[in-house]
Amino acid sequence: MIRLFLTALAISPQDPKALYRRASALEGLEKYEEAYRDAQMALVSSPADSATFQPLLSRLHVLVEQRRVKFSQIKEKASRMMKLAFDGEGGEEETETGLNNVLVLCRERAGIEALLELGLLVKLKSLLDLKSPSLKDMKRKITAVRTLSEIVKFHVNMVSVLGQIILRIEITIMTLSCFSNISRLYFS
């Protein structure tokens, strides 16, 4: 449906009806920021129709503001967890807690976006690059793989970016499999 509005807007970029309808469609897809921009452009294009656009603008303004506040809070938490998990700002337990909280943050779109802005992929890559990992490093690698899995659930387009990491994941899985077999031999 949005493609139809894109076609109409390609012909007439300031068409208030097309902008308004696309804004409504984007609202339904929970793309509130984009919807708000379109609704604002519709109002600028046709101020005489402000009574039509105002209810949508009011709804979207509240939603956009709520998201901005929530994102700010999530980004602050993400920053704290990244420091705990990757910058050595604490002991072993704090590092594990940080990694697990990063994983939990990746279960929400806003959490993923905040963590990606903070350079999560580079940190995960370096974690997966560890050679001859210890038991604690293997646990961290498992958490890194689980974190990447959560990212891919929300960002299918991230698959191409993550392609460079896939080989490291496969190596990690093979190493974990070998480690598991060795553990069974020694601890059984």
- Give the angle subtended at the CA of 125 by the CAs of 99 and 164, to the nearest 5°: 140
What Å distances lie between residue 93 and 89, 122, 131, 133, 140, CA to CA?
Answer: 11, 22, 22, 18, 12
Mean per-residue pLDDT, 57-72: 94
Mean per-residue pLDDT, 1-30: 80
Average pLDDT for the chain: 82
pLDDT digits 0-9 by tens, 108-158:
888 998 999 999 988 988 888 777 777 778 888 889 888 988 888 776 655
Q: Would you say residue 8 has pLDDT above 90?
A: no
| Tokens (6 digits) for 177 | 């499999």
* 48 half-sphere exposure, CB direction, 13 A CA radius: 1
**Distance between terminal CA atoms of the chain?**
59
Grade residue 27 by pLDDT with cuts at 50, 70 and 90. Answer: very high
Residue 54 confidence (pLDDT): 94
Q: Would you say residue 169 has pLDDT above 60?
A: no
Q: What is the pTM of this model?
A: 0.64
Query: How far is it, in rounded angstroms, from Cα 133 to Cα 148?
Result: 19
Contact 145, 169 (CB under 8 A): yes
- Give the angle subtended at the CA of 128 by the CAs of 124 and 130, to the nearest 5°: 125
Residue 181 confidence (pLDDT): 52
